[in-house]
């Protein structure tokens, strides 16, 4: 057994049985070991941003880490944007990054770089293996970190000679420690705030693990019992929505809208999130969204045992048996007709969204108004971009589909964002992933037009317009999809969109709809 084989045996033995890969020369012994050790599913990505984004999506749905295999510093560097998104989403990932053989590094070959330096900003843990005999225990340590609540990124750098050298044992990862419990004082303080204040000016703001499962239901019970406002952070790693579930407003992206939402709020109880701040600084506008007079009380941090914290708070308030507030009823809008518009697209989604779907949302401008008309659709999960680095949705859909092959994955994507990681289409086709994509083709970085005005930079002239548009030539998404092996159609109208969306939903493989705006 060599080091690479001990590494693969360690991963598989600990249940890390999916590897999103883009290997090179220094990783060839790892690649070879994957032929000799059963139990690992390997999914090739043609760009490292697809690989790291897929690992993010996998964790969000499966609730356990996958591994990545990346080639040296440049390969890791190519994946950093989606590792940034994964960091903000608190996704657990085990990165395996190849390195030159230890004795070769001194010669400064062309691909030599400071891999640890590249890894650190987007990793919670970084280690370079010293030899083949320790590679398995190093991998076990990485797995243990990746499993820590709420999910962490561990990067193990494996020099080539640690992979081809001899190994004797396969290590086991340390047991995952339980999530920290919140104190009785934290529960009593939160209950006091919710009971003593004016409920119309008191908000329970939830995020992290509080926006799905039992925690979401408990938040609804607490809101019903106390009459407090209930809201979720703007982006969530996995928000449960749809009929029969607690629905609530999300903190808006535009700073003016979010300031308005909080203008009368005087106390916020935080569960799995932090006090909201603006995405960017804008001249004359606040960075902290809530007014200065607003106080915050933390019930539970994102890494805490959120379910138990909300159970304790509900018990303290006598809300355990209270019917949850704001339960969405099954309600489908009628299919619309006419020209494509954000409102019409939302109606098509609300009318056709299938039960148990996983929606991956990077419809940054087109999709801001989708919430209302999709709230009454059958139960579904909504995955959104938490780190703001575009090129998120297509790779995350890959990972989500690998994690849940029995569920339909639906991507809502802008054309500008999709161009960052369109190589994910090929991975979907190769693996016959059940993903239906709506690409909103407005031929521009539409969000930047609003940002140009928002920061007071004036109206766009010729040069600015050229940097905010992606026309001349127009991107042909039907051709791009088919060139990657994905079936596709074009929707010029809402009637077209309904027809093409139904076609995608009926397919068992990937299907892309170019929605012309």
354 is in which domain, residue-wise? Answer: 342-516
Q: Which of 267, 284, 317 is the last residue of a domain?
A: 317
Domain assignment of residue 305, yes or no: yes
At 448, which CATH number?
3.40.50.970
**In what side-by-side order are the strands of the sheet with 295-300?**
229-232, 202-206, 267-271, 295-300
Domain assignment of residue 179, yes or no: no
Q: Which of 130, 164, 198 is the last residue of a domain?
A: 164
Domain assignment of residue 386, yes or no: yes
Which uninterrupted H or E stretch holds 467? helix 462-468
**In what side-by-side order are the strands of the sheet with 380-384?**
239-241, 380-384, 358-362, 409-414, 435-441, 511-516, 487-491
Quick check: pTM over 0.95?
Answer: yes
Distance CA 78, CA 46 (A): 11
151 and 23 share a domain?
yes
267 and 360 share a domain?
no
| pLDDT, tens digit, 9 for 90 and up, residues 44-70 | 999 999 999 999 999 999 999 999 999
11 and 68 share a domain?
yes
* 3-class state of residue 117 by DSSP: helix
94 and 152 share a domain?
yes
67 and 159 share a domain?
yes
198 and 160 share a domain?
no
Look-up: residue for tokens 């969405």?
328
Specify the number of domains making up the chain: 3
At 267, which CATH number?
3.40.50.1220
Domain assignment of residue 75, yes or no: yes
Bond from prior residue into 7 cis (ω within 30 degrees of 0): no
pLDDT confidence band for 451 (50 / 70 / 90): confident
pLDDT score for 54: 99
Domain assignment of residue 329, yes or no: no
Residues in the chain: 517
Tell me the mean pLDDT in the region 203-209.
97
463 and 418 share a domain?
yes
Q: Which of 164, 196, 230 is the last residue of a domain?
A: 164
413 and 313 share a domain?
no
360 and 302 share a domain?
no
Angle between helices 28-36 and 3-13 (to 10 degrees): 60
pLDDT score for 468: 84
Domain assignment of residue 501, yes or no: yes
pLDDT confidence band for 465 (50 / 70 / 90): confident
Distance CA 314, CA 112 (A): 56
Q: Which residue has the higher pLDDT, 152 or 455?
A: 152
Distance CA 151, CA 147 (A): 6
Domain assignment of residue 174, yes or no: no
Distance CA 148, CA 157 (A): 20
Distance CA 170, CA 27 (A): 19
pLDDT confidence band for 452 (50 / 70 / 90): confident
Which uninterrupted H or E stretch holds 192? helix 184-196
Domain assignment of residue 61, yes or no: yes
DSSP one-letter code for 14: T
**Torsion (CA) 254, 257, 259, 260 in degrees, nearest 10:** 180
347 and 493 share a domain?
yes
Bond from prior residue into 473 cis (ω within 30 degrees of 0): yes
pLDDT score for 467: 85
97 and 205 share a domain?
no
Neighbours of 52 (CB within 10 A): 32
268 and 141 share a domain?
no
Look-up: residue for tokens 């939302």?
346
pLDDT confidence band for 155 (50 / 70 / 90): very high
| Inter-residue contact 453 to 285 (CB < 8 Å) | no
**In what side-by-side order are the strands of the sheet with 18-22?**
41-44, 18-22, 66-70, 93-99, 153-159, 125-128
| pLDDT, tens digit, 9 for 90 and up, residues 177-204 | 999 999 999 999 999 999 998 999 999 9
């Amino acid at each position: 057994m060599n080091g690479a084989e001990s590494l693969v045996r360690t991963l598989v033995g600990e249940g890390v049985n999916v590897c999103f890969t883009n290997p090179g020369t220094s990783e060839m012994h790892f690649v070879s070991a994957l032929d000799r050790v059963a139990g690992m599913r390997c999914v090739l990505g043609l760009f490292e941003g697809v690989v790291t984004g897929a690992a993010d999506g996998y964790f969000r749905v499966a609730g356990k880490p996958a591994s990545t295999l990346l080639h040296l510093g440049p390969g890791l560097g190519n994946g950093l944007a989606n590792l940034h998104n994964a960091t903000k989403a608190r996704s657990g990932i085990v990165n395996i990054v190849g390195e030159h053989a230890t004795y070769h590094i001194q010669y400064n070959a062309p691909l030599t770089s400071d891999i640890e330096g590249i890894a650190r900003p987007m990793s919670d843990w970084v280690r370079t293996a010293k030899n083949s005999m320790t590679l398995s225990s190093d991998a076990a340590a990485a797995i243990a970190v990746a499993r820590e609540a709420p999910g962490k990124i561990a990067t193990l750098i494996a020099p080539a000679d640690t992979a081809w050298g001899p190994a004797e044992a396969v290590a086991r990862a340390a047991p995952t420690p339980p999530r920290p419990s919140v104190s009785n004082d934290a529960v009593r303080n939160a209950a006091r705030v919710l009971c003593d204040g004016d409920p119309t000016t008191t908000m329970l703001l939830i995020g992290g693990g509080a926006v799905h499962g039992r925690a979401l239901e408990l938040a609804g019970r607490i809101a019903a019992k106390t009459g407090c406002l209930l809201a979720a952070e703007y982006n969530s790693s996995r928000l449960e929505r749809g009929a029969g579930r607690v629905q609530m407003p999300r903190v808006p992206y535009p700073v003016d809208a979010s300031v308005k939402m909080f203008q009368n709020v005087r106390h916020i109880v935080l569960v799995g999130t932090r006090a909201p701040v603006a995405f960017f600084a804008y001249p004359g506008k606040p960075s902290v969204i809530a007014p200065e007079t607003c106080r915050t009380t933390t019930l539970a941090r994102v890494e805490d045992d959120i379910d138990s914290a909300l159970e304790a708070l509900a018990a303290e308030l006598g809300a355990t048996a209270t019917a949850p507030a704001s339960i969405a009823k099954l309600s489908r809008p009628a299919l619309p007709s006419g020209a494509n518009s954000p409102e019409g697209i939302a109606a098509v989604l609300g009318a056709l969204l299938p039960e148990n779907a996983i929606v991956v949302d990077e419809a940054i401008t087109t999709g801001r108004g989708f919430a209302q008309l999709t709230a009454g659709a059958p139960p579904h999960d909504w995955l959104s971009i938490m780190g703001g680095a575009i090129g998120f949705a297509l790779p995350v859909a890959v990972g989500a589909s690998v994690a849940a092959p029995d569920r339909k994955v639906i991507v809502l994507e802008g054309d500008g964002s999709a161009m960052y990681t369109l190589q994910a289409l090929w991975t979907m086709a190769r693996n016959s992933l059940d993903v239906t994509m709506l690409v909103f083709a407005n031929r521009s970085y539409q969000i930047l037009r609003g940002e140009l005005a928002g920061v007071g930079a004036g109206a766009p002239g010729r040069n600015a317009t050229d940097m905010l548009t992606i026309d001349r030539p127009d991107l042909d998404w039907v051709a791009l999809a088919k060139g990657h092996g994905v079936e596709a159609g074009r929707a010029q109208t809402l009637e077209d969109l309904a027809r093409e969306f139904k076609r995608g939903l009926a397919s068992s493989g990937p299907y892309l709809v170019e929605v012309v705006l």
